[in-house]
Chains A and B, each alone.
Chain A
Amino acid sequence: MPATSRDQLSPPAAVVPRRPGRLSGRRRATSPWWFAVPAMLLFAFVVLVPSARGVYYAFTDWDGLDPNSSFVGFDNFTGLLDDPDAVQAVWHTLLIAVSVTVIQNVFGLLLALGVNSLIKTRNVLRVLLFAPAVITPIVTAYLWRNLLGPSGAVNSLLGTVGLDSLRQDWLGDPQLALWSVVGVIVWQFGGYSMVIFLAGLQSVPKEVHEAADIDGAGPIRRFWSITRPLLAPAFTINLMLSIIGGIKLFDQVYALTGGGPGHATDTLSTLIYKDAFTLGEFGYSIALAVVLTIIVAVASTGQYLVLARGERAAS
C-alpha cells in the first residue's frame, strides 16, 4: 500500500519497462518529450497566455478600469517616441544598467580577490560583505534614503571629518540623484557578485598557481593568465545578472527618489508603474513594458552569446 500510492502518481508506461534502459547511460539522456508537457502547459497558462493577452493591450487605449477599450494600432508605440519622459527613462535605464554592471563587477571582483587571500578575518568579511544582499531592496532603499538625506548620516560624517564642501543633497540634486541610486545598488549587490567570483576563484586549482609561481610569474601575470580565463563562467553569470537587474530596476529607484526630482531618475520600470497606476494609461504603459521586455531580451541574449564565445575561447 505505501509503495503503490507513489507509483499511481507517476506516468504509467514510462517507468517500469524502461527501467534497465535508464541505467544504461545512453538512453538516460533522452526522456520522452511528453514528460515536459505538464510543465509546459503550466508555463503556457501562467506565463505565455497572460503575457500574450497583456501584449494585446499595448495596442489599445485601455484605462485599466473600463471594460471597453478600442484598438489603436501602433499609436502607443509611436507616442512613446514623442514622449520626452519615455525617451529620458530609456536613457536612464541604460545608463544605470551599464554603470551598475561595470562598477558592481569591478567592485565584486576586487572584494572577491581580497577575501580569497589568506587574511585572518576573511570569513567574517565574506559574511559582512554579503550581508546587504540578503536584505530586501526596498528596506535598503529606505535606509539609504535617510542616510543620504540633507542632514543624514553621510553628510554628518562628511561634516565631522571636515569635508563640509563635499556635503550634497544626494537625492535631491538632479545631477547627483541617479549616481546616488547607482551607488546604493552597488553597495547592496557588490557582495553578491563577490560571492559568485569567489566561488569561481576557489575552483581555480592551487597547483596551477604554484606551478606558475615556480615559473616566476608575478601576481598580476598569474591573475591575467590563470585566474581571469578560469573565471569566465563567473563573469558570464555576474554580467548577465547585473545587466538584467539594472535594466528592470524598480524598487530601489521608487523608494529612493520616486523617479524624481522631476523625472531625473525615472527608469522604464518606474514610468511603467506611474503611467499605469497613477495616470490610468494602461495601454501606453503596457507598450512601455513591451519595449522593456524587448530591451532585456536583446541585451541578455547578445551578452550571453558574446560571453559564451569568450568562455569557449578561454577553456
Chain B
Amino acid sequence: MISTRLSAAIAAVTAAGLLAACSGGTNAAGGNSSTTLTIASQDQGSIEPVVKAFEKANPGIDVRLTVSSADQYQQQIRTKLASGTGPDVMSVWPGNGNPAATYVLAKPGYLLDLSDRPWASKLPDAVKTVSQYQGKTYNGVFGLNGIGAVYNQDALDKAGLTPPGTWTELLDFCKDANAKGTPAFALGIQDNWVTQIVLYALAATTVYGPDPDFDKKMQAGQATFADSPWTTAMAKYQQMDKAGCFQKDPLGTSYEAGQELAATGKTLGIIQGNWVIALLKGKNPNGKFTLRALPATDTPSEFLMPAAGGTGYGVNAKARNKELALKFVDFVMSPEGMNLFVTTQGGLPTRPDTGFTPDASLTELSTFVNDDRTVPFMDQLWPNPKVQQSMLSGLQEIFSDQSTPDKVLQAMDADYTSGS
C-alpha cells in the first residue's frame, strides 16, 4: 500500500508538472497584519541592506522578503499575480519586452498607479518613458545602468596598451592585443543574453546617433530593423569577431567564464554592463576596472552609450498592505534609499538630485548620463519579448554560421510586427 501510494504520489507530481502547473489557480488567503510587508525581488545581494535600513527607519514592521534570480523571478511573479497570491511590492522591469516589464504587468491592471508619489515627477525623461504605461507611472526605477567596454587596468599595463578612442583604433587594439597573446575582450555567449550586449553598445551610436527617433519610427511602422543602421551594428559586431577582438570559442564560454577571463587578465577587458564590475572585483579584489564607451565610429563626439533604468519596484494593485508598500517604494526612491541601493549594485541613481558621487570606474558613464548622450536598452521599447529572443538565438546562430545578420534582422522585424 505504501509503495502504491508512493508511486501514485510520484506519478501525480510528475504528470502535474507537465500540464497541471499551467492551469489556473485560486485566490489564496494570507496574513492581513498592518505591520507585515511582503516583497518579491530579483536584486539578489543589494536589496537586503535596503530592507534593513527601511526596517530601522520604521520600527515594529515585519518585512517578508523573497529574493530569486531574474529567470526564476519572472516565471514565478506571473503565476503569483495570475493566481492572486502576489506580494505587496515586487521587482518590475522598465519598459516592455520581458515577462515582468512595466507595460506587460500594468496592461492587465496588476500594478498600482504611482503617478502621485513625490518622486514620480523628478525622474529624467529617459527613465519616465520606461517607468510609465499610457502616461501613468507604475515603476519606481531607482538605478541607471550603462553598457560599455570594461577594461582591466593591470592587463592593459602588462600589454602596454591603452583603451582605443575610435573604431579604427579599436580594431588595431584587438590586433595588438592578440599579438601580445591576450585577446582584447572576453565574450561568454553560451548564456544567450550576453550576445546582445556588444550589439547594443554598437547600435547606440550607429542607430540612434543618426536617428534619435528610430524607436518612434519603428512604432509607427516607418522603419524596420533589416533596412536600418542595425545592419551596420551587426556588420561591426562581425568585423570585431573577425579582427580577433574576442577570445576563442565564445559560444562555449559562459558569462561566468567570461568574467573569469577578464578579471584575471586573460583578456584585457569585457564588453558588459556596469554591473559586471562588482562581479569582476569579486573574482579579483585587487583589480582596477573602468567602464568606457565602446567606439563604434571614428568620431568620438558621436558616441552614445546604452544606459537605462534598471529593474525598479512596483506596488501590487491588490496589495494587502498598500500603505506600507507605498512607504517602501517611496523609501527606495528617496535620495537615501536610492544611493544605498545603487552603491551596493554599482550603478548610478536615476534622480539627479541625490548628491551621489559615482565610483571612479563609472566616471565616463556618469558624464554621458549628465550630457544626455545615452539611449535606453533597445529591448525596453520593443512591443513583445519575442523580438529580443529572436535576436538572442539569432546572434548565437550567426556566431555558429547557422544564420546571417539579414535573416536575424528580418526575423526580428516579423516578431516586432506580430503585436504584443
Contact = CB atoms under 8 A, between A and B. Distances in A.
B396 interface: yes
Contacts of B78: 64-65, 277, 280
Nearest to A145: B254
A262 B394 contact: yes
Contact of A277 (B74, B252, B393): B74
Contact of A150 (B4, B191, B253, B384): B253
B407 to A, nearest CB: 11
A47 B16 contact: yes
B393 A263 contact: yes
Given A50-B16, A150-B252, A293-B18, A262 B23 contact: no
Interface in A64-89: 64-67
B108 interface: yes
A172 B16 contact: no
A293 B82 CA distance: 25
A184 to B, nearest CB: 14
Contacts of B253: 149-150, 172
Given A280-B104, A286-B22, A65 B82 contact: yes
Contact of A39 (B8, B79, B105, B108): B8
A149 B258 CA distance: 11
B246 to A, nearest CB: 12
B56 interface: no
A289 B22 contact: yes
B20 interface: yes
Interface string A42-75: 1100110011011111000000111100000000
A180 B11 CA distance: 30
Contacts of B75: 276-277
B343 interface: no
A276 B249 contact: no
B12 A261 contact: no
Chain B contact residues: over half helix, strand or loop, or mixed?
helix
A39 B12 CA distance: 11
Nearest to A292: B18
Given A150-B248, A172-B251, A46 B24 contact: no
B190 A172 contact: yes
Contact of A149 (B15, B79, B257): B257
Contact of A172 (B107, B252, B397): B252
Contacts of A55: 19
A174 B252 CA distance: 10
Contacts of A149: 252-254, 257
Determine the interface band of chain B, counting residues with CB < 8 A from chain A.
Answer: 35 or more
Given A65-B82, A260-B396, A280-B78, A172 B250 contact: yes
Contacts of A51: 15-16, 18-20, 23
A7 interface: no
A257 interface: yes
A237 B16 CA distance: 23
Interface in B249-305: 249-254, 257
Interface in B94-109: 99, 104-105, 107-108
Contact of A264 (B252, B386, B402): B402
B402 A261 contact: yes
A260 B190 contact: yes
Contact of B385 (A42, A46, A262, A279): A279
B190 A47 contact: no
A172 B401 CA distance: 12
A155 to B, nearest CB: 9
A50 B396 contact: no
Contacts of A264: 400, 402
A41 to B, nearest CB: 11
Interface in B374-420: 384-386, 389, 393-394, 396-397, 399-400, 402-403
Interface in B9-36: 11-12, 15-16, 18-24
Interface in A286-305: 286, 289-290, 292-293
Interface in A167-225: 169-174
Contacts of B403: 262
A278 B257 CA distance: 24
B82 A67 contact: yes
Given A149-B252, A277-B74, A278-B99, A57 B23 contact: yes
A282 B19 CA distance: 11
Which 7 interchain pairs have the tightest Cβ spacing?
Answer: A172-B251, A172-B252, A50-B20, A262-B397, A54-B19, A150-B249, A53-B23
Interface of A: 39, 42-43, 46-47, 50-51, 53-57, 64-67, 145-146, 148-150, 169-174, 248, 257-264, 274, 276-280, 282, 285-286, 289-290, 292-293
Given A65-B104, A66-B107, A261-B251, 12 more contacts: A43-B11, A46-B16, A47-B16, A53-B23, A64-B22, A169-B251, A171-B252, A172-B400, A173-B251, A260-B190, A262-B396, A276-B75
6 contacts: A51-B19, A53-B20, A54-B21, A148-B252, A173-B251, A260-B251
Interface of B: 4-5, 8, 11-12, 15-16, 18-24, 71, 74-75, 78-79, 81-82, 99, 104-105, 107-108, 110, 190-192, 248-254, 257, 384-386, 389, 393-394, 396-397, 399-400, 402-403
